[in-house]
Amino acid sequence: MQQRQQGRWAPLSSALLALLLVAALAVGSSRHGRSQLAQHTSELPARASLGWLAQSEAGTQERDAEGAAVHASTPTPNKAGGVPPPLPWACVLMPKQLRRGLSYYGSGARIERLAARLLSGEAITAVTIGGSVTLGRGASDEAATSYAALFFRYLNETFPHRDHQLLNKAISATTSAIFAACTESILPQDTDLAVVEFTFNDAEAAPYTDAARRGFERLLRSLARLPRRPAVIVLHHWAWHFAHGDGQSGGLFYRPAEAQLTTIAEYYDMPTASLRNAAYRHMQANLSPFKVAKVRNATRVFPRPWMPPLEEPGAAEWPDFFYNDFMHPSDTGHKALAELLAGVVQAALRNVALHGELADEGPTDSGGRELPPPMIPGNVDTPASLCAVLERFKPLARAMEGFEYRAERPEGGTFVEQKWGFTGEAPGAWLELAVSTEEAPGSNGTAEVLLGHLRSYCGMGQARVECQSGCSCQPTVVEALWEERTSLLQMHQFAVTQHPECVLRITILDRQAGSDSSSSSSGSGSGSDVGCGTGDGGAATAGNTTAGATAATDSSSSSSSKSSSSSSSSSGASKFQVAALVVTHIHVVLVSSSAQGGLAAAVGRR
């Protein structure tokens, strides 16, 4: 890997400044065309591939208020020849929408340092974290047309480098508090750019002192403290049909979470980009391609009581409508989100070009080495004492009978796609996990445990979770079956006493014999299989309410999922899979049980 430069950036030369200014303005105005991914070798610095730094273009494309194209001219080469590469797709947002969508830029200290790294030819590590929108739900191809994939494509084609690491770490139906607890386990230590998208999933209305807002602030702080002091962009997704209240069934502009999360980002001098601000007027006027009166999959997210019945557009109308379902954007919506992110980077390029040096890195701004004290009084920086995800989960197993460690989707191309976990399929099968629940040696009190388990609509069973030795806890019964036409990794949350060797036992129950009435129950399963093998196709995810869920985040094929569910159904509807475990000493807010059910229908079906 190419050596990365360290330390502060020296003022740029006047000649390079002129080139950067031309380039930045050209990138900002370019609105059509497609660029080839530049090829280069390790012998040549990536800067050698950036010939567009000496180019400009005269062509622009605008749309009138009705959203129709009114002008398009052919880019004109300048004296150096050629034109700068535009965004590698036909743009959705107009320049004025991009300006509205940049809710807050701030000093630019960190994002401009990132821009300078890109311009100098360095490889970067960029990571997206968030919920199902960031995972790619609603896009026709999550690996190609989701906003994360498009934004990474923009970075790679504009600043090509073979050593870029462009990683999507999203987990559907999660809240920011989960990532706050497991930042160091999920994100690479050399992260240079982190995109944060939790506006829809975090609590809609909560005071700043609520655990939900505390968790979001802890997440931003944990990201800002990573070794390379990454740039952080807070991206606000907005779902028209869920923005209801005060007599409106949708399209309420002041959904409160966005304003509060923006305030927290402003405190840490982190740029924020808002889909609502960029697209609201066009949605309100029902202009193409921002129309909201129809959604392509009107039954994927179950309509809520406040939602009027909506039709599904015909195939010829799809490009006119912004949402794929009531919650997730279509390809058009994903493009808009990617353009908002690219717009933040372009703004940083312009500022680096205009000013010639980076913004002052004061001791308490987001670019400095020290963070200001927490904005929310009494908030604390306490990471999880254990975040067992992906390969880190397997060593926790101390003993088992009737369980085995296996992949739910062995044909998957990566560990994540293969969906590994401990699976049992018969009543009486048990698994023991040994963990430390201590915050510090000798500490007392309680800890919170989040146990990641698969929930699905076919062939799933119940399991009893209890403290076998060391620690103590209230036994609970966990339901793995539900009626939602999807399979997700859900988190079972419970309190345990602190102990250096806490042994947890998970035992599959005989559903027909009934569960132990002395135990509390988690989940809302129906107690019987619901149409095994009759669900439609479509992507499903397992990994949706905790950081541990990254073990199985990517979509899986409907065929393999159906066959797995049908198989387990024939063995007595007792299948139970465990795939992640988190121990924390701060209160973690999960998506509520009722909300998880609705979100589950949104993130895909098997």
Provide the CATH number for the domain around residue 452. Answer: 2.60.120.260
Higher-confidence position of 256 and 325: 325
Q: In 3D, which of 577, 479, 487 has the Cα closest to residue 535? A: 487
What's 80's domain CATH number?
3.40.50.1110
> What is the pLDDT, as a whole number, of residue 300?
64
* 30 and 173 inside one domain: yes
Average pLDDT for 530-559: 32
> Domain range holding 435?
386-602
Q: Which pLDDT value is given to residue 105?
A: 97
Whole-model pTM: value is: 0.71
> What is the token pair recorded at 184?
């160091």
Question: Is position 9 within any domain?
Answer: no
Ramachandran angles phi, psi of 332, nearest 5°: -60, -45
- Domain match, 347 and 396 both: no
Same domain, 189 and 260: yes
* pLDDT one-digit tens code per residue, 371-420: 999 999 988 776 667 888 778 899 999 999 999 999 887 886 667 667 78
User: Has residue 305 got a pLDDT over 80?
Assistant: no
> Token pair of 282, please?
């066009």
Which of 315, 332, 355 terminates a domain? The answer is: 355
Is 469 part of a structural domain of the chain? yes
* % pLDDT > 70, the chain: 67
**370 within a domain of the structure (yes/no):** no
The residue written with tokens 């999933």 in the block is 201
Average per-residue pLDDT for the chain: 75
402 & 316 share domain: no
Domain co-membership, 342 together with 252 = yes
Same domain, 283 and 408: no
Out of 336, 355, 374, a domain closes at 355
Q: Do residues 347 and 360 make contact, with C-beta atoms less than 8 angstroms apart?
A: no
User: Is 302 within a domain?
Assistant: yes
Q: Are residues 344 and 443 in the same domain?
A: no
Q: What is the pLDDT of residue 309?
A: 79
CA-angle at 541, arms to 560 and 519, nearest 5°: 105
Rounded-to-10 torsion of CA 69, 70, 75, 78:
-140
Q: Are residues 217 and 261 in the same domain?
A: yes
Highest mean pLDDT among 413-422, 503-512, 593-602: 503-512
Shared domain for 351 and 404, answered yes or no, is: no
pLDDT attached to residue 82: 29
pLDDT score for 512: 75
pLDDT at 1 over 90: no
Q: Report the pLDDT value the prediction gives residue 208, as an integer from 0 to 100.
A: 95
Task: Grade residue 262 by pLDDT with cuts at 50, 70 and 90.
Answer: very high
Question: Does residue 375 sit within a domain?
Answer: no
The reported pLDDT for the residue numbered 13 is 37
d(CA 235, CA 338): 10
Q: Report the b/e string of 143-179 with b at 16+ CB within 10 A.
A: eebbbbbbbbbbbbbbbbbeebbbbbbbbbbbbbbbb
107 and 38 in a single domain? The answer is yes
167 and 105 in a single domain? The answer is yes
In a domain, 3, yes or no: no
For residues 429 and 307, membership in a common domain is answered with: no
Q: Look at 107 and 56; give whichever has higher pLDDT.
A: 107
Q: What token pair was written down for 458?
A: 């076919």
Residue of 438, 440, 545 lying closest to 490 (CA atoms): 545
Residue 499 lies in a domain: yes
Cα-to-chain-centroid distance, residue 17? 35
**Top-ranked range on mean pLDDT: pick from 3-7, 29-33, 78-82, 208-212:** 208-212
Residue 454: which pLDDT band, with cuts at 50, 70 and 90? confident
What integer pLDDT is reported at residue 354 of this predicted model?
A: 80
pLDDT(339) > 70: yes
Domain membership of residue 372 (yes or no) is no
Percent of the chain with pLDDT over 90: 46
pLDDT value for 73: 29
Total number of domains constituting the chain: 2
pLDDT at 524 over 80: no
